[in-house]
Amino acid sequence: MPFFFDTPFRDLAIFEPRIFQDERGYLFESYNQRDFEKAGIQAAFVQDMQAFSTQGVLRGLHYQSFPFAQAKLIRALQGEILDVVVDLREAEPTYGQWYSIRLSDKNQRQLFVPRGFAHGYLVLSPTALVAYKCDNFYAPSHEAGLRYDDPTLAINWETDLAAVIVSEKDKAQPEFGKHAKT
């Protein structure tokens, strides 16, 4: 049976699969709808995404606004990332707070991010291959984001932000409080 760990944020959960390892390598089930539902996670995934990046690339913080908000299940297929989320659910006591976790091909952990969060990650290894499932389709008209270096959020990216590689689009995202509502 896989393990699910709670975080300080309602519905944000860490999934750690049960890994079967021997001299041939390893095998694990990366997703099983029944196990997720037993853990209280209800998401009907409709789209899988994959991204390859090099060390120092910072992607995010991204989200889609209502009615195209997305829940995501994120994992690092290769390499290591610092995965970061920001709670944008105004009714939650964790509104405006961030959470981070290292996801890697070594620990095989996955992060379930419910709707209402901005998401981003920093590549810590020489390269990283990141995959994530989404429970709603990509909708460019509802795409939104937050500044990764917003001083009011004060996210600890565990690196010198002057050295990260960020797209022009991500550099132009609004600060928290000036963002589109989820």
Where in the sequence numbering do the catalytic residues fall? 62, 132
CA gap 177, 96 in Å, rounded: 9
Angle 80-59-112 from CA coordinates, rounded to 5°: 65
Is-contact 81 103, C-beta < 8 A?
A: yes
CA gap 92, 90 in Å, rounded: 6
Could you count the other beta carbons within 10 Å of the beta carbon of residue 161? 12
CA gap 92, 9 in Å, rounded: 9
Is-contact 134 46, C-beta < 8 A?
A: yes
